[in-house]
Structures are given as structure tokens and as C-alpha cells.
Amino acid sequence: MRYAYYPGCSLEATGRPYEKSVSAVADALGMELLELEDWNCCGATAYMSVNEILSFCLSARNLCQALKTGDTLVTPCSACYTNLRKTESYMSEFPEMKKKVDEALAEAGLRYDGGVVTKHFLQAVMEDAGVDRIVSRIKRPLTGLRVAPYYGCQIARPYGIEDDSDNPTMLDRLLTLIGATPTYYPMKTVCCGGSLMGTREDVALRLCRNLLMCAEQYDAQCIAVTCPLCQLNLDAYQNAINKAYGTRFNLPVVYFTQLMGIAFGMDWKGVGLRECIVPAKAMAEQFA
Amino acid sequence: MNGAQQTVIYEQAMDLRFLDEIYRIPGGEKIKDCIQCGTCSGSCPVSWAMEETPRQVFAMIRAGMRDKVLDSLTIWTCASCYQCAHRCPQEIKITDIMYMLKRMAIRENRQRSKKANALSRIFVELVNKNGRNHETTLMVRFMLAANPFGAVSAAPIGLSLYTHGRLPLFGRKVRDVQGLRKIVAKAQELGGE
């Protein structure tokens, strides 16, 4: 299992704990992640509101880079993933757009005519590493841990993973495999607000309050996420949410890869749980 | 829209070319298939915070209410979660039409949401310059540009991210920044709609 690995900008900063745990888990599963050569930003959601052609060019350039490494590109970030898949879809659906992208890429001597399969890291874990391999690595099953499976918006949408868009189960199945109990979480694909936390904080705080409230109502002990922006909003802003709404949430928001790491017997610091703002130590140490 | 304060807009104030502008984006012509069912507004997680709901925006586009749409806070409230596009029974690329409206508003320098404009501008500057988004720089520059007085209240969040090792001071750049800039220049020349 060799992959061109695209961490994306967030994983070098606010998503550092994700980066740590993805590397650790990939190692344990024998997935070889070769960092995508000289990758660039995917444009997130901000770029698309400035220049459409260019935002497709950004992802197309990354797809070109991926071909140098192999044919499967894996990324843990839902925004990067969505933009790559969206670009791929537009290139094949709208030849006029592809012509413009080709023209711009040619300036740097590049051309993309397809050939890369893009996967979210969750997909790669479930589809390629697979159930048997995951189960074989488990040293400390997370028995009794109630986890709200939060997919976030983008990986469950038109350019998302192959799963039920309204009620995806891939993360639920993974959590069950590692011994945890995925709770009923009706808000599993409702948006966290994304970059609205910067531009319309009142709106994003309320969306995140609702997500935390829903997890708590179904007695979750933590929320598992698949996207660095969801993690940032729910974790780093939890205190701000408590202040704004008079709530007392104290719910760790962890990456699914961090939970896998704990189940694989790794040290809680080694999978970046010390970098969570809402302390996750006590939760992790039940399984030490 | 508050019914009591609503004023009548006469045909002379309509820009009937507005719809044609929307047709220009890939898949944009599907907007004429809109049946005003309201599935978009019902699915949208933030329609409660919009001035007009997505369904209303689509009716307004077709009526040619160009200024009102482009000056609406609605387009800046869309978080790009794609739920509307996913559920639209007519398969209209609603999220992408929202992106198009944002681009038009930015190009025409309509400053309805100073914060959103600042975020997009700084983000694009960083990516065009370095090929990557250095989140620490983005946060600091955005905070100073959008709300210098609010920076004090946002500081604790930045500080706690920093002490948790999640806001490194230095970022990495794309090595072939020259090549990337050539792509940027060409794409800008090609329009970018």
C-alpha cells in the first residue's frame, strides 16, 4: 500500500495532532505515505470565492504531482479531499473548463488528463488496510467508550466518500472495529460552520453548540472527527461556546486516527492527544 | 425579508442580464430548472442567519434583482457545506452559484461583509505568494484587518493553540513558486469565472 500523501496546510499548523496520528496509524498498518512532492494549498473554500479557474488549477497541479509518485493520492483533510475530487469531476464534465485549466497549467509545463484516484484517509484505512489488518493491530480495545461519530459536511456530499450521504456509516464501522461504541448521532453530517468562525462567529458558535449538545444528549464521552477544521472549531472554540451560551461542555474532540492509535496501544502523547485544547488525557488513560 | 417594510421594486430596476451571468459558470444554466420547492432553504444549516433564504435568492436571480442579491448578507453566510446541492431535486449546483455570487460581489468591490472580503483577500495573497496557507499568518493578518479591537478577545484562543504547538511561527513554501505564479497569472488572464 503506497500512497502519494497530501497533508494540506492545516496539518502543518492547527491540525498537527492529526498529522502525528495519521503517520503513526499508517505505520502500524503498513501503509506507506510518500509526501506529495512540492504540494500546494487546495484553496479551501476561500479561493473559490475569488477565482474559479485558479482554484481548479491549484488542485490540478497537486494531481499532476501525484502522478509522479503513483496513482493513489490520500489526504486526511476533508477540504483538500473535496477540492481534489471536485476538480476531477469538473475536468471530465466540463471540457471548456478543462481547456482553461490546461492552458494555465501549461505555463508551468504541466498537464493533467486524469489517472489519479483520490481517497480520504478514512477510506484508505477501511478499504485498503481493511478490517482484518485493523483488528490484528488492536492491543487495547476501547471497550465502553461512547463516541459520537462526526463526519462533517464535505466528505458526505457530492464529491465525498462512497457511502450513504445522509447517513454514512464508515466511521461508525471503524469505531466499532476498535472496540468503541458509536453513539446515535443524528447531526453526523451537519456543517460546523467552517471558516464562518472567522467571518460570522455568532453563526459558527451556534452550529458548534448544537453539535456538542447533540453529542452530549446521546451520552457521548468524546466526538470523533475526520476534518481539521471541524476539530479546530469544536475543540479550540469550546470555551468560547460555553461563555456565549452559558453551557458547561467539556467534551474532547479527537481525530479518528487518535482513537485508533490508543486502541493500537500507542502512547497518548505519541498520537497528539496532548495538543487537544479540551483535555483528552483522562479519556485516553482509561485504556493505558 | 420583513413583509411590513418591503418596498415594491419596479421592472425598471431589474437587470435581466443577471441570469445570463449565472449561465456562464459550468452547469449554471440549470438554474432555470428551479421549481422553488425550498428544499435548499430547508436543508441549509444557516438559512436562519441569512437575510434571504437560498430559495428566495434563486427567485430574485431569475427576477433580475442583481443589486439586492449581490449586496445581500446571504451569500456571505453560506458555509459551502453542499447540503443544498446534494438534496436539490433539480440538481442545481447551488453551492457553486453561491461561490459565483461571492466572486461577482468581490469583483465589484461590494463591501457587504468586510470580514469575508478580508479573509478571502488575505488567503489568496498568501497562497499566490507562497503556494501554501500559513495558518498563523492568516489568523494574525485577518484579525488585524477585520477587527483590530476584537483581537484582544480572540487572543486567548490563538494563545492556547500556540501553547499546544498548533500555531508554528514559520510556514513552508512551495519550492517551484515561480511555476505556480505563472499558473496564477495565466488563470487570472483567462478570466476566472
A30 neighbors A1 (Cβ within 8 angstroms): yes
Asked if residue B3 has pLDDT above 80, the reply is: no
Interface test with B, best of A6, A14, A40, A90 (most B CBs within 10 A): A40
Which of A104, A189, A275 lies at the smallest CB-CB distance from B190? A104
Closest A-chain CA to B46: A203
* Closest CA–CA distance from residue A186 to any residue of chain B (Å): 14
Which of B77, B166, B171 lies at the smallest CB-CB distance from A14? B166
pLDDT digits (tens, 9 = 90+) for A13-40: 999 999 999 999 999 999 999 999 999 9
Interface test with A, best of B22, B30, B124, B173 (most A CBs within 10 A): B124
Report the pLDDT value the prediction gives residue A50, as an integer from 0 to 100: 84
Contacting residues of A for B123, CB less than 8 Å apart: 44, 46-47
Cβ-in-10-Å burial (0-12, 13-18, 19+) of A72 comes to middle
Closest B-chain CA to A194: B79
Q: What is the mean pLDDT of chain B?
A: 90
CATH 1.10.1060.10 for domain B3-107: yes
| CATH code reported for the domain at A140-285 | 3.40.50.11810
Sequence-distant (6+) residues with CB within 8 A of B11 are: none
Contact A51 B103 (CB under 8 A): yes
Report the pLDDT value the prediction gives residue B136, as an integer from 0 to 100: 92
Q: Give the residue extent of every domain in chain B.
A: 3-107, 114-189
* Residue whose C-alpha is closest to residue B124's, from B115, B133, B116: B133
Contacting residues of B for A186, CB less than 8 Å apart: none
Contacting residues of B for A202, CB less than 8 Å apart: 49
**CA distance linking residue B43 with residue A205, whole number of Å:** 19
Mark out the alpha helices in A112-237 (DSSP H runs): 121-123, 130-137, 170-177, 196-199, 201-217, 228-236
- B5 — pLDDT class (breaks 50, 70, 90): low
How many H helices and E strands in chain B?
Answer: 11, 0
Q: Give the residue extent of every domain in chain A.
A: 2-120, 140-285
Report the pLDDT value the prediction gives residue B155, as an integer from 0 to 100: 83
Report the pLDDT value the prediction gives residue B151, as an integer from 0 to 100: 65
Question: Is A102 touching B (CB cutoff 8 A)?
Answer: no
Contact A51 B124 (CB under 8 A): yes
Closest B-chain CA to A42: B132
Sequence-distant (6+) residues with CB within 8 A of A96 are: B26
- B150 — pLDDT class (breaks 50, 70, 90): low
**CA distance linking residue A288 with residue A210, whole number of Å:** 32
Q: What percent of chain B has pLDDT over 70?
A: 93
- B192 — pLDDT class (breaks 50, 70, 90): low
- B14 — pLDDT class (breaks 50, 70, 90): confident
- B152 — pLDDT class (breaks 50, 70, 90): low
Question: Is A202 touching B (CB cutoff 8 A)?
Answer: yes
Contacting residues of A for B113, CB less than 8 Å apart: 199-200
pLDDT digits (tens, 9 = 90+) for B18-40: 999 999 999 999 999 999 999 99
Q: What is the interface size between A and B, counted as CB pairs within 8 Å?
A: 198
Report the pLDDT value the prediction gives residue B4, as an integer from 0 to 100: 57
Query: Which three cell numbers, joined as nine digits, stand for A68?
Result: 509522479
ipTM of model = 0.93
Question: Is A53 touching B (CB cutoff 8 A)?
Answer: yes
pLDDT digits (tens, 9 = 90+) for B67-107: 999 999 999 999 999 999 999 999 999 999 999 999 999 99
CATH number, domain A2-120, options 3.40.1190.20, 3.90.1420.10, 3.40.50.1220, 1.20.1050.140: 1.20.1050.140
**CA distance linking residue A29 with residue A121, whole number of Å:** 12
* Closest CA–CA distance from residue A286 to any residue of chain B (Å): 22
pLDDT digits (tens, 9 = 90+) for A138-193: 999 999 999 999 999 989 888 988 899 899 999 999 999 999 999 999 999 999 99
Report the pLDDT value the prediction gives residue A74, as an integer from 0 to 100: 98
**CA distance linking residue A165 with residue A186, whole number of Å:** 13
Mean of pLDDT values over B106-134: 90
**CA distance linking residue B120 with residue B143, whole number of Å:** 13
Each residue's pLDDT, cut to its tens digit, for chain A (288 residues) gives 999 999 999 999 999 999 999 999 999 999 999 999 999 999 988 878 888 999 999 999 999 999 998 889 999 999 999 999 999 999 999 999 999 999 999 999 999 999 999 999 999 999 999 999 999 999 999 999 999 999 999 898 889 888 998 999 999 999 999 999 999 999 999 999 999 999 999 999 999 999 999 999 999 999 999 999 999 999 999 999 999 999 999 999 999 999 999 999 999 999 999 999 999 999 999 997
Contacting residues of A for B133, CB less than 8 Å apart: 9, 41, 44
Sequence-distant (6+) residues with CB within 8 A of A191 are: A152, A153, A207, B45, B46, B79, B81, B83
